[in-house]
Amino acid sequence: MRKRALVAVMSGAASIAVALGAVGGGASPGVSLTDVPAANTKTAGYAPPNALSAELRETAVARGAMHLDGAATDGSPPQYYGYDGDGPMLPALGSNVESSKTEPDKNTYLVLDGQHGPEAGAYYGDHFLFQGHEGGTIGYITRVNLDADAAHRVTLMASTDVDGKPLPLFDGSTWDPFAKRLLFTSENGTSPSDQRAGKINASGGVWSATLDYPSKVTDISGSIGRAGFEGIQNDKDGNVWIVEDNTGDAGTGANAKAKQPNSFVFRFIPSHKDDLSAGKLQALQVISRRTNQPITFHDLQADADITSPDTAELYTYGASFDTKWVTVHDTATDGTTPFDANKAAKVAGATPFKRPENGQFRPGTNFGQFFFDSTGDTNAQSSADNGLGGWGGIFQLTQNGPSANTGRLELFYQTDEAHTGLDNVAFLTKNQVVFVEDAGDTLHTQRNALDSAYVFDVTHDYSKGGQPIRMLAEGRDPSATVDSGLSSTTNFQNEGDNEITGIHVSNGDPSRNGLLGASDPIPFFGHGTFRWRVFYTAQHGDNVTYEIETLP
Protein backbone atom coordinates (compact mmCIF):
# COMPACT_ATOMS: atom_id res chain seq x y z
CA MET A 1 0.00 0.00 0.00
CA ARG A 2 1.44 3.32 -1.08
CA LYS A 3 1.35 5.95 1.63
CA ARG A 4 1.89 9.66 1.34
CA ALA A 5 4.67 11.08 3.46
CA LEU A 6 3.46 12.58 6.70
CA VAL A 7 5.79 15.14 8.21
CA ALA A 8 5.53 16.61 11.65
CA VAL A 9 8.08 19.27 12.54
CA MET A 10 8.77 20.56 16.03
CA SER A 11 10.38 23.94 15.40
CA GLY A 12 12.84 24.96 18.07
CA ALA A 13 12.76 21.52 19.65
CA ALA A 14 15.66 19.13 19.75
CA SER A 15 14.19 16.71 17.21
CA ILE A 16 12.14 16.51 14.09
CA ALA A 17 9.92 13.49 13.55
CA VAL A 18 9.51 12.36 9.99
CA ALA A 19 7.11 9.47 9.37
CA LEU A 20 7.60 8.32 5.83
CA GLY A 21 5.61 5.69 3.96
CA ALA A 22 7.51 3.06 2.05
CA VAL A 23 7.34 2.99 -1.70
CA GLY A 24 6.36 -0.34 -3.24
CA GLY A 25 6.05 -2.16 0.08
CA GLY A 26 4.50 -2.05 3.50
CA ALA A 27 4.59 0.92 5.84
CA SER A 28 8.06 1.65 7.12
CA PRO A 29 8.85 2.62 10.69
CA GLY A 30 9.15 6.34 11.34
CA VAL A 31 12.51 8.05 11.22
CA SER A 32 13.47 10.63 13.79
CA LEU A 33 16.04 13.17 12.63
CA THR A 34 17.60 14.53 15.76
CA ASP A 35 19.27 17.91 15.89
CA VAL A 36 23.06 17.99 15.70
CA PRO A 37 23.63 20.30 18.66
CA ALA A 38 26.51 22.42 17.34
CA ALA A 39 28.65 23.17 14.33
CA ASN A 40 32.19 21.86 14.20
CA THR A 41 34.70 24.44 15.34
CA LYS A 42 37.58 25.72 13.23
CA THR A 43 40.97 25.16 14.83
CA ALA A 44 44.37 25.17 13.15
CA GLY A 45 45.47 21.61 12.44
CA TYR A 46 42.10 20.17 13.56
CA ALA A 47 40.25 17.91 11.08
CA PRO A 48 36.92 17.00 12.69
CA PRO A 49 34.65 14.45 10.97
CA ASN A 50 31.23 15.28 9.58
CA ALA A 51 28.41 14.90 12.12
CA LEU A 52 24.93 13.93 10.88
CA SER A 53 21.62 13.44 12.64
CA ALA A 54 21.94 10.25 14.66
CA GLU A 55 19.59 8.35 12.34
CA LEU A 56 21.60 9.08 9.19
CA ARG A 57 24.79 7.84 7.60
CA GLU A 58 26.72 8.96 4.55
CA THR A 59 28.51 6.88 1.95
CA ALA A 60 31.08 8.25 -0.47
CA VAL A 61 29.98 7.67 -4.07
CA ALA A 62 32.92 9.53 -5.62
CA ARG A 63 36.24 10.77 -4.27
CA GLY A 64 38.51 13.45 -5.62
CA ALA A 65 41.40 11.04 -6.13
CA MET A 66 39.40 8.83 -8.54
CA HIS A 67 41.00 8.86 -11.97
CA LEU A 68 38.68 10.09 -14.68
CA ASP A 69 37.45 7.50 -17.14
CA GLY A 70 38.33 9.13 -20.46
CA ALA A 71 41.04 11.49 -19.17
CA ALA A 72 43.70 12.58 -21.65
CA THR A 73 46.51 10.03 -21.95
CA ASP A 74 49.16 12.76 -22.13
CA GLY A 75 48.48 13.75 -18.51
CA SER A 76 46.94 17.13 -19.31
CA PRO A 77 44.17 18.38 -16.97
CA PRO A 78 41.78 17.22 -15.83
CA GLN A 79 42.98 13.83 -14.63
CA TYR A 80 41.01 13.16 -11.46
CA TYR A 81 37.53 13.86 -10.14
CA GLY A 82 38.80 16.46 -7.66
CA TYR A 83 42.30 17.23 -8.95
CA ASP A 84 43.52 18.57 -12.27
CA GLY A 85 46.71 16.54 -12.00
CA ASP A 86 49.04 19.54 -12.41
CA GLY A 87 50.83 18.77 -9.15
CA PRO A 88 50.84 16.39 -6.17
CA MET A 89 47.56 15.76 -4.33
CA LEU A 90 49.30 16.75 -1.10
CA PRO A 91 52.18 19.23 -0.95
CA ALA A 92 55.60 18.08 0.18
CA LEU A 93 56.62 19.05 3.69
CA GLY A 94 57.51 22.75 3.71
CA SER A 95 55.94 23.38 0.28
CA ASN A 96 52.62 24.84 -0.86
CA VAL A 97 52.72 23.32 -4.35
CA GLU A 98 49.84 20.97 -5.01
CA SER A 99 47.41 20.02 -7.76
CA SER A 100 44.65 22.50 -8.54
CA LYS A 101 41.37 21.33 -6.97
CA THR A 102 38.47 21.02 -9.44
CA GLU A 103 35.62 21.47 -6.91
CA PRO A 104 32.73 19.35 -8.26
CA ASP A 105 29.59 21.38 -7.65
CA LYS A 106 25.81 21.06 -7.91
CA ASN A 107 24.51 17.51 -8.42
CA THR A 108 21.89 16.34 -10.93
CA TYR A 109 20.69 12.74 -10.49
CA LEU A 110 19.10 10.80 -13.37
CA VAL A 111 18.08 7.20 -14.05
CA LEU A 112 18.88 6.43 -17.70
CA ASP A 113 19.10 3.47 -20.06
CA GLY A 114 21.77 2.75 -22.61
CA GLN A 115 24.46 5.19 -21.52
CA HIS A 116 27.96 4.72 -22.86
CA GLY A 117 31.49 5.69 -21.93
CA PRO A 118 35.03 5.81 -23.30
CA GLU A 119 35.54 2.05 -23.00
CA ALA A 120 33.40 0.04 -25.39
CA GLY A 121 31.65 -2.83 -23.65
CA ALA A 122 32.26 -1.52 -20.13
CA TYR A 123 29.34 -1.52 -17.70
CA TYR A 124 28.23 2.01 -16.82
CA GLY A 125 24.92 1.16 -15.17
CA ASP A 126 21.62 3.02 -15.05
CA HIS A 127 22.00 5.54 -12.19
CA PHE A 128 24.04 8.68 -12.75
CA LEU A 129 25.08 11.88 -11.03
CA PHE A 130 26.10 14.77 -13.33
CA GLN A 131 28.22 17.72 -12.19
CA GLY A 132 30.09 20.71 -13.48
CA HIS A 133 33.33 21.74 -11.77
CA GLU A 134 33.74 25.18 -10.22
CA GLY A 135 37.49 25.26 -9.63
CA GLY A 136 40.73 24.17 -11.16
CA THR A 137 42.41 25.31 -14.35
CA ILE A 138 39.76 24.30 -16.90
CA GLY A 139 36.02 23.77 -16.92
CA TYR A 140 34.46 20.38 -17.58
CA ILE A 141 31.52 18.06 -16.96
CA THR A 142 31.65 14.70 -15.20
CA ARG A 143 29.22 11.84 -14.75
CA VAL A 144 29.39 9.67 -11.63
CA ASN A 145 28.34 6.19 -12.72
CA LEU A 146 26.78 5.02 -9.46
CA ASP A 147 26.53 1.36 -10.54
CA ALA A 148 30.01 1.04 -12.07
CA ASP A 149 33.30 -0.25 -10.68
CA ALA A 150 36.12 2.01 -9.51
CA ALA A 151 37.85 2.19 -12.90
CA HIS A 152 34.65 3.41 -14.54
CA ARG A 153 33.07 5.26 -11.61
CA VAL A 154 33.61 8.83 -12.91
CA THR A 155 33.52 9.66 -16.62
CA LEU A 156 34.86 12.86 -18.15
CA MET A 157 31.95 13.87 -20.39
CA ALA A 158 33.28 17.08 -22.00
CA SER A 159 35.84 19.84 -21.57
CA THR A 160 35.10 21.76 -24.80
CA ASP A 161 31.93 22.86 -26.55
CA VAL A 162 30.74 21.86 -30.00
CA ASP A 163 32.91 24.61 -31.52
CA GLY A 164 36.02 23.36 -29.76
CA LYS A 165 36.10 26.21 -27.26
CA PRO A 166 37.16 25.43 -23.66
CA LEU A 167 34.26 25.18 -21.23
CA PRO A 168 34.10 27.69 -18.37
CA LEU A 169 34.12 26.77 -14.72
CA PHE A 170 30.61 25.54 -13.88
CA ASP A 171 28.51 25.93 -10.75
CA GLY A 172 24.83 25.07 -11.16
CA SER A 173 23.22 22.22 -13.08
CA THR A 174 19.81 20.77 -13.83
CA TRP A 175 18.00 18.54 -16.33
CA ASP A 176 15.53 20.13 -18.74
CA PRO A 177 13.07 17.38 -19.78
CA PHE A 178 11.47 19.61 -22.41
CA ALA A 179 14.65 20.45 -24.31
CA LYS A 180 16.15 17.10 -23.26
CA ARG A 181 19.38 18.76 -22.27
CA LEU A 182 21.47 19.10 -19.16
CA LEU A 183 21.92 22.78 -18.28
CA PHE A 184 25.07 24.10 -16.63
CA THR A 185 25.70 27.62 -15.33
CA SER A 186 28.86 29.66 -14.96
CA GLU A 187 28.89 32.52 -12.46
CA ASN A 188 31.53 34.77 -14.02
CA GLY A 189 29.72 38.10 -14.05
CA THR A 190 30.71 41.71 -14.66
CA SER A 191 31.26 43.92 -11.62
CA PRO A 192 29.45 47.29 -11.38
CA SER A 193 32.75 49.14 -11.63
CA ASP A 194 33.66 47.31 -14.84
CA GLN A 195 30.19 47.99 -16.23
CA ARG A 196 30.70 51.70 -15.59
CA ALA A 197 34.03 51.53 -17.41
CA GLY A 198 32.39 49.86 -20.38
CA LYS A 199 34.16 46.55 -19.68
CA ILE A 200 31.32 44.14 -20.30
CA ASN A 201 33.50 41.15 -19.54
CA ALA A 202 30.98 38.69 -18.17
CA SER A 203 31.91 35.20 -19.34
CA GLY A 204 29.28 33.40 -17.29
CA GLY A 205 26.08 32.09 -18.79
CA VAL A 206 24.22 28.86 -19.53
CA TRP A 207 25.48 25.88 -21.51
CA SER A 208 23.32 22.96 -22.66
CA ALA A 209 24.70 19.42 -22.91
CA THR A 210 23.52 16.11 -24.34
CA LEU A 211 23.29 13.14 -21.98
CA ASP A 212 25.32 10.34 -23.50
CA TYR A 213 29.09 10.10 -23.88
CA PRO A 214 30.71 12.14 -25.27
CA SER A 215 28.45 15.02 -24.32
CA LYS A 216 27.90 17.70 -26.95
CA VAL A 217 27.91 21.08 -25.20
CA THR A 218 26.45 24.30 -26.63
CA ASP A 219 26.77 27.86 -25.35
CA ILE A 220 23.22 29.28 -25.27
CA SER A 221 24.16 32.69 -23.87
CA GLY A 222 22.85 34.32 -27.04
CA SER A 223 19.31 33.74 -25.78
CA ILE A 224 19.76 33.69 -22.00
CA GLY A 225 22.63 36.15 -21.65
CA ARG A 226 25.88 36.36 -19.75
CA ALA A 227 25.93 36.98 -16.01
CA GLY A 228 26.97 35.45 -12.71
CA PHE A 229 24.40 32.68 -13.11
CA GLU A 230 24.33 29.93 -10.48
CA GLY A 231 21.08 28.23 -9.42
CA ILE A 232 18.99 26.87 -12.30
CA GLN A 233 15.61 25.12 -12.25
CA ASN A 234 12.79 24.27 -14.68
CA ASP A 235 9.08 24.73 -14.03
CA LYS A 236 6.18 22.71 -15.45
CA ASP A 237 5.58 25.23 -18.26
CA GLY A 238 9.08 24.76 -19.65
CA ASN A 239 10.43 28.05 -18.28
CA VAL A 240 13.97 28.12 -16.91
CA TRP A 241 14.49 29.94 -13.59
CA ILE A 242 18.02 31.19 -12.92
CA VAL A 243 19.41 32.76 -9.75
CA GLU A 244 22.42 35.04 -10.04
CA ASP A 245 25.39 35.34 -7.68
CA ASN A 246 27.26 38.53 -8.55
CA THR A 247 28.98 40.48 -5.78
CA GLY A 248 28.33 44.22 -5.65
CA ASP A 249 30.60 47.14 -4.84
CA ALA A 250 31.72 47.66 -1.25
CA GLY A 251 30.38 50.65 0.59
CA THR A 252 32.49 53.44 2.07
CA GLY A 253 33.35 54.49 5.60
CA ALA A 254 31.28 52.53 8.09
CA ASN A 255 29.92 50.42 5.22
CA ALA A 256 33.32 49.34 3.88
CA LYS A 257 32.71 45.72 4.94
CA ALA A 258 29.23 45.61 3.35
CA LYS A 259 28.35 44.99 -0.30
CA GLN A 260 25.76 46.60 -2.53
CA PRO A 261 22.90 44.33 -3.69
CA ASN A 262 23.88 43.44 -7.27
CA SER A 263 22.27 40.11 -8.24
CA PHE A 264 18.94 39.23 -9.84
CA VAL A 265 16.41 36.43 -10.07
CA PHE A 266 15.74 35.59 -13.74
CA ARG A 267 13.14 33.61 -15.68
CA PHE A 268 13.71 32.52 -19.28
CA ILE A 269 10.57 31.85 -21.31
CA PRO A 270 11.58 29.90 -24.44
CA SER A 271 9.68 30.52 -27.65
CA HIS A 272 9.32 26.73 -27.82
CA LYS A 273 9.75 24.49 -24.77
CA ASP A 274 12.01 22.07 -26.59
CA ASP A 275 14.36 24.73 -27.94
CA LEU A 276 16.31 27.15 -25.72
CA SER A 277 17.88 29.10 -28.57
CA ALA A 278 15.12 31.74 -28.61
CA GLY A 279 12.80 33.41 -26.13
CA LYS A 280 12.43 36.13 -23.53
CA LEU A 281 14.66 36.68 -20.52
CA GLN A 282 12.86 38.33 -17.60
CA ALA A 283 13.99 39.54 -14.19
CA LEU A 284 12.05 39.85 -10.94
CA GLN A 285 10.95 43.34 -9.93
CA VAL A 286 9.85 44.06 -6.36
CA ILE A 287 7.60 47.04 -5.60
CA SER A 288 8.44 49.21 -2.61
CA ARG A 289 5.80 49.29 0.13
CA ARG A 290 6.86 52.84 0.99
CA THR A 291 6.84 54.48 -2.43
CA ASN A 292 4.86 52.02 -4.57
CA GLN A 293 7.77 52.23 -7.04
CA PRO A 294 10.15 49.46 -8.11
CA ILE A 295 13.15 48.81 -5.86
CA THR A 296 16.04 49.30 -8.26
CA PHE A 297 19.83 49.44 -8.45
CA HIS A 298 21.48 52.86 -7.98
CA ASP A 299 24.78 53.21 -9.78
CA LEU A 300 27.54 55.05 -7.87
CA GLN A 301 25.36 54.86 -4.75
CA ALA A 302 26.49 51.67 -3.05
CA ASP A 303 25.97 53.14 0.42
CA ALA A 304 22.46 54.30 -0.45
CA ASP A 305 21.45 50.81 -1.58
CA ILE A 306 23.17 49.09 1.36
CA THR A 307 21.35 51.22 3.94
CA SER A 308 18.08 51.96 2.14
CA PRO A 309 14.77 51.54 4.03
CA ASP A 310 13.60 49.23 1.24
CA THR A 311 16.56 46.92 1.82
CA ALA A 312 15.79 46.86 5.53
CA GLU A 313 12.13 46.08 4.86
CA LEU A 314 12.98 43.24 2.47
CA TYR A 315 14.70 41.52 5.38
CA THR A 316 11.87 42.16 7.87
CA TYR A 317 9.38 39.51 8.96
CA GLY A 318 5.78 40.25 8.01
CA ALA A 319 6.54 42.61 5.10
CA SER A 320 4.86 41.40 1.92
CA PHE A 321 5.75 42.92 -1.46
CA ASP A 322 4.05 42.96 -4.84
CA THR A 323 6.25 41.59 -7.61
CA LYS A 324 6.20 41.45 -11.37
CA TRP A 325 8.45 40.17 -14.12
CA VAL A 326 10.10 42.66 -16.48
CA THR A 327 11.52 41.61 -19.84
CA VAL A 328 15.22 42.41 -20.16
CA HIS A 329 15.89 40.74 -23.54
CA ASP A 330 13.81 39.22 -26.32
CA THR A 331 15.55 37.36 -29.13
CA ALA A 332 12.65 38.24 -31.46
CA THR A 333 13.62 41.92 -31.31
CA ASP A 334 17.09 41.98 -29.74
CA GLY A 335 18.75 39.12 -31.62
CA THR A 336 21.01 36.36 -30.34
CA THR A 337 24.31 38.13 -29.76
CA PRO A 338 25.45 37.32 -26.18
CA PHE A 339 24.56 40.21 -23.86
CA ASP A 340 25.18 41.27 -20.25
CA ALA A 341 22.01 40.05 -18.50
CA ASN A 342 22.94 41.76 -15.22
CA LYS A 343 23.25 45.16 -16.89
CA ALA A 344 20.06 44.56 -18.89
CA ALA A 345 18.18 43.77 -15.67
CA LYS A 346 19.38 47.06 -14.17
CA VAL A 347 18.25 49.02 -17.22
CA ALA A 348 14.84 47.32 -17.08
CA GLY A 349 14.34 48.30 -13.43
CA ALA A 350 14.58 44.84 -11.87
CA THR A 351 15.32 44.47 -8.15
CA PRO A 352 18.83 43.51 -7.00
CA PHE A 353 19.44 41.16 -4.07
CA LYS A 354 22.54 40.33 -2.02
CA ARG A 355 23.77 37.24 -3.89
CA PRO A 356 20.67 34.99 -4.16
CA GLU A 357 22.53 31.84 -5.14
CA ASN A 358 19.90 29.08 -5.47
CA GLY A 359 16.18 28.40 -5.44
CA GLN A 360 13.66 25.58 -5.79
CA PHE A 361 9.90 25.12 -6.14
CA ARG A 362 7.98 23.74 -3.21
CA PRO A 363 6.36 20.39 -4.06
CA GLY A 364 2.57 20.25 -4.01
CA THR A 365 2.09 23.91 -5.02
CA ASN A 366 1.78 23.37 -8.78
CA PHE A 367 5.00 25.37 -9.10
CA GLY A 368 3.34 28.34 -7.41
CA GLN A 369 5.85 28.74 -4.54
CA PHE A 370 9.53 29.38 -5.15
CA PHE A 371 11.99 29.53 -2.25
CA PHE A 372 15.39 31.15 -2.78
CA ASP A 373 18.21 32.28 -0.52
CA SER A 374 20.27 35.42 -0.28
CA THR A 375 23.83 34.59 0.80
CA GLY A 376 24.64 38.07 2.14
CA ASP A 377 28.07 39.48 2.93
CA THR A 378 29.55 36.47 4.84
CA ASN A 379 31.48 38.85 7.08
CA ALA A 380 30.81 39.37 10.78
CA GLN A 381 32.15 42.93 10.43
CA SER A 382 29.59 44.01 7.80
CA SER A 383 27.50 47.01 8.81
CA ALA A 384 24.59 45.38 6.93
CA ASP A 385 24.48 42.54 9.48
CA ASN A 386 22.29 44.78 11.60
CA GLY A 387 19.00 44.20 9.82
CA LEU A 388 20.14 45.14 6.30
CA GLY A 389 20.63 41.70 4.80
CA GLY A 390 24.28 41.25 5.70
CA TRP A 391 23.53 37.78 7.03
CA GLY A 392 21.32 37.05 4.00
CA GLY A 393 17.88 35.49 4.22
CA ILE A 394 15.41 33.00 2.74
CA PHE A 395 12.59 34.38 0.58
CA GLN A 396 9.31 32.91 -0.58
CA LEU A 397 7.87 34.02 -3.92
CA THR A 398 4.21 33.07 -4.43
CA GLN A 399 2.44 33.23 -7.81
CA ASN A 400 -0.77 31.81 -9.31
CA GLY A 401 1.46 29.72 -11.56
CA PRO A 402 5.04 29.62 -12.79
CA SER A 403 4.23 31.71 -15.88
CA ALA A 404 2.24 34.36 -13.98
CA ASN A 405 3.48 37.92 -14.46
CA THR A 406 2.81 39.05 -10.88
CA GLY A 407 3.17 37.63 -7.40
CA ARG A 408 4.02 38.29 -3.76
CA LEU A 409 7.40 38.15 -2.04
CA GLU A 410 8.08 37.86 1.66
CA LEU A 411 10.90 36.89 3.97
CA PHE A 412 10.55 33.28 5.11
CA TYR A 413 13.55 33.17 7.45
CA GLN A 414 15.71 35.95 8.87
CA THR A 415 19.23 34.58 8.97
CA ASP A 416 21.84 35.38 11.61
CA GLU A 417 25.49 34.66 12.35
CA ALA A 418 24.77 31.01 13.19
CA HIS A 419 22.69 30.46 10.02
CA THR A 420 24.21 32.42 7.16
CA GLY A 421 25.94 32.15 3.81
CA LEU A 422 23.12 29.89 2.62
CA ASP A 423 23.75 28.49 -0.83
CA ASN A 424 22.32 25.22 -2.23
CA VAL A 425 18.74 24.15 -1.50
CA ALA A 426 16.62 21.00 -1.83
CA PHE A 427 13.18 20.00 -0.61
CA LEU A 428 13.51 16.94 1.61
CA THR A 429 9.72 16.53 1.76
CA LYS A 430 6.78 18.70 0.78
CA ASN A 431 7.02 20.71 4.00
CA GLN A 432 10.74 20.45 4.71
CA VAL A 433 13.43 22.31 2.83
CA VAL A 434 17.18 21.95 3.35
CA PHE A 435 19.47 24.96 2.95
CA VAL A 436 23.22 24.47 3.28
CA GLU A 437 25.85 27.00 4.25
CA ASP A 438 28.81 28.32 2.29
CA ALA A 439 29.96 30.80 4.91
CA GLY A 440 33.57 30.90 3.70
CA ASP A 441 36.92 30.76 5.47
CA THR A 442 36.75 34.33 6.79
CA LEU A 443 33.42 33.88 8.56
CA HIS A 444 34.39 30.37 9.70
CA THR A 445 37.28 31.98 11.55
CA GLN A 446 35.24 34.93 12.84
CA ARG A 447 32.50 32.76 14.36
CA ASN A 448 34.74 29.72 15.04
CA ALA A 449 32.24 27.47 13.28
CA LEU A 450 32.33 25.50 10.04
CA ASP A 451 29.32 25.03 7.74
CA SER A 452 26.05 23.25 8.50
CA ALA A 453 23.00 21.95 6.64
CA TYR A 454 19.65 22.99 8.10
CA VAL A 455 16.13 21.56 7.73
CA PHE A 456 13.38 24.20 7.77
CA ASP A 457 9.66 23.60 8.22
CA VAL A 458 7.97 25.73 5.54
CA THR A 459 4.67 25.66 7.45
CA HIS A 460 6.25 27.29 10.52
CA ASP A 461 6.25 31.03 11.18
CA TYR A 462 9.83 31.68 12.28
CA SER A 463 9.00 35.26 13.20
CA LYS A 464 7.35 33.74 16.29
CA GLY A 465 10.45 31.84 17.34
CA GLY A 466 12.04 28.49 16.76
CA GLN A 467 15.06 27.47 14.73
CA PRO A 468 15.72 24.93 11.98
CA ILE A 469 17.15 21.49 12.67
CA ARG A 470 20.83 20.96 11.96
CA MET A 471 21.03 17.66 10.03
CA LEU A 472 24.72 18.00 9.15
CA ALA A 473 27.61 19.71 10.87
CA GLU A 474 30.32 19.56 8.25
CA GLY A 475 33.80 18.74 9.39
CA ARG A 476 37.08 19.40 7.63
CA ASP A 477 38.97 16.62 5.90
CA PRO A 478 42.76 16.47 6.28
CA SER A 479 43.40 17.90 2.78
CA ALA A 480 41.17 20.90 3.46
CA THR A 481 42.88 21.37 6.83
CA VAL A 482 46.25 21.51 5.10
CA ASP A 483 44.87 23.89 2.46
CA SER A 484 43.41 26.14 5.16
CA GLY A 485 46.85 26.44 6.73
CA LEU A 486 48.39 27.29 3.34
CA SER A 487 45.68 29.70 2.20
CA SER A 488 47.63 32.83 3.17
CA THR A 489 50.89 31.74 1.55
CA THR A 490 52.17 33.24 -1.68
CA ASN A 491 50.79 31.83 -4.95
CA PHE A 492 48.67 29.17 -3.26
CA GLN A 493 45.67 28.65 -5.56
CA ASN A 494 43.27 26.34 -3.70
CA GLU A 495 40.44 27.01 -1.26
CA GLY A 496 40.70 26.11 2.42
CA ASP A 497 37.84 24.80 4.53
CA ASN A 498 35.34 22.31 3.15
CA GLU A 499 32.05 23.69 1.83
CA ILE A 500 28.69 21.93 1.59
CA THR A 501 27.40 22.06 -1.95
CA GLY A 502 25.12 20.15 -4.29
CA ILE A 503 22.45 19.11 -1.78
CA HIS A 504 20.09 17.21 -4.03
CA VAL A 505 16.93 15.16 -3.44
CA SER A 506 15.60 13.41 -6.54
CA ASN A 507 14.09 10.17 -7.79
CA GLY A 508 16.03 10.46 -11.03
CA ASP A 509 12.98 10.41 -13.29
CA PRO A 510 14.10 12.09 -16.56
CA SER A 511 10.50 12.74 -17.68
CA ARG A 512 8.53 15.88 -16.86
CA ASN A 513 7.15 14.02 -13.84
CA GLY A 514 10.65 14.09 -12.39
CA LEU A 515 10.94 17.88 -12.30
CA LEU A 516 12.01 19.04 -8.85
CA GLY A 517 8.75 20.26 -7.33
CA ALA A 518 6.46 18.11 -9.48
CA SER A 519 5.82 15.48 -6.79
CA ASP A 520 6.32 15.06 -3.08
CA PRO A 521 9.77 13.67 -2.23
CA ILE A 522 9.93 10.53 -0.09
CA PRO A 523 13.62 10.25 0.80
CA PHE A 524 15.49 7.42 2.52
CA PHE A 525 12.85 4.72 1.89
CA GLY A 526 11.63 2.73 -1.04
CA HIS A 527 12.76 0.38 -3.71
CA GLY A 528 12.62 0.19 -7.46
CA THR A 529 13.93 2.24 -10.33
CA PHE A 530 12.82 5.69 -9.21
CA ARG A 531 13.37 5.66 -5.46
CA TRP A 532 14.25 9.00 -3.92
CA ARG A 533 17.91 9.56 -3.08
CA VAL A 534 19.82 12.32 -1.27
CA PHE A 535 23.29 13.53 -2.30
CA TYR A 536 25.71 16.32 -1.44
CA THR A 537 29.36 17.19 -2.09
CA ALA A 538 31.98 18.23 0.45
CA GLN A 539 33.69 20.70 -1.84
CA HIS A 540 37.35 21.70 -1.48
CA GLY A 541 39.93 19.47 0.17
CA ASP A 542 39.37 15.85 -0.86
CA ASN A 543 36.23 16.79 -2.88
CA VAL A 544 34.06 13.84 -1.87
CA THR A 545 30.47 13.36 -3.04
CA TYR A 546 28.23 11.54 -0.57
CA GLU A 547 24.88 9.83 -0.55
CA ILE A 548 22.91 10.30 2.68
CA GLU A 549 20.88 7.31 3.84
CA THR A 550 19.21 6.10 7.02
CA LEU A 551 20.94 3.67 9.32
CA PRO A 552 19.94 0.04 8.72
pLDDT given for residue 524 in this prediction: 85
Report which of 279, 273, 247 is spatially closest to residue 262, judged by C-alpha positions: 247
What are the C-alpha distances in Å from 374 to residues 38, 361, 415?
Answer: 23, 16, 9
CA distance 226 to 123: 38
Decide if 230 contacts 243 (C-beta within 8 A). Answer: yes
Pairwise pLDDT comparison (411 vs 11), residue with the higher score: 411
Question: 58 in helix, strand or coil?
Answer: strand
Q: Which residues of 226-243 are buried (b: 16+ CB within 10 A; e: fewer)?
A: bbbbbbbbbbbebbbbbb
What are the C-alpha distances in Å from 160 to residues 1, 311, 518?
Answer: 48, 41, 33
First to last CA, the chain: 22
pTM for the structure as a whole: 0.94
Query: Looking at residues 159-169, what average pLDDT do you find?
Result: 97
pLDDT given for residue 189 in this prediction: 85
- Residue 25: is its pLDDT beyond 70? no
- Residue 29: is its pLDDT beyond 50? no
- Residue 44: is its pLDDT beyond 80? yes
Of 30-34, 45-49, 192-196, 432-436, minimum mean pLDDT range? 30-34
- Residue 539: is its pLDDT beyond 50? yes
Query: Looking at residues 251-266, what average pLDDT do you find?
Result: 97
pLDDT given for residue 4 in this prediction: 30
In tens, the pLDDT along 184-199 reads 999 988 888 888 877 7
- Residue 15: is its pLDDT beyond 90? no
Decide if 122 contacts 179 (C-beta within 8 A). Answer: no
- Residue 147: is its pLDDT beyond 80? yes
pLDDT given for residue 203 in this prediction: 83
Report which of 174, 9, 161, 152 is spatially closest to residue 70, judged by C-alpha positions: 152
- Residue 96: is its pLDDT beyond 80? yes
CA distance 179 to 145: 23
**From its phi and psi, is residue 347 left (phi > 0), alpha (psi between -120 and 50) or beta?**
alpha
Show the 3-state SS of 438-481: CCHHHHHHHHCCCCEEEEEECCCCHHHCCCCEEEEECCCCHHHH
Average pLDDT, the chain: 92
Percent of the chain at pLDDT exceeding 90: 89
Residue 21: pLDDT band by 50, 70, 90 thresholds? Answer: very low
Report which of 132, 88, 168, 139 is spatially closest to residue 486, judged by C-alpha positions: 88
Residue 489 CB coordination number (10 Å): 10
pLDDT given for residue 194 in this prediction: 81
Apex 392 CA angle, 391 and 394, nearest 5 = 135
Q: Which residues is 403 bridged to in the sheet?
A: none
pLDDT given for residue 11 in this prediction: 35
One-character DSSP codes across 100-144: PB--B---EEEE-SS---SSTT----SEEEEEEB-SSSSB-EEEE
- Residue 12: is its pLDDT beyond 50? no
Of 201-205, 293-297, 491-495, minimum mean pLDDT range? 201-205
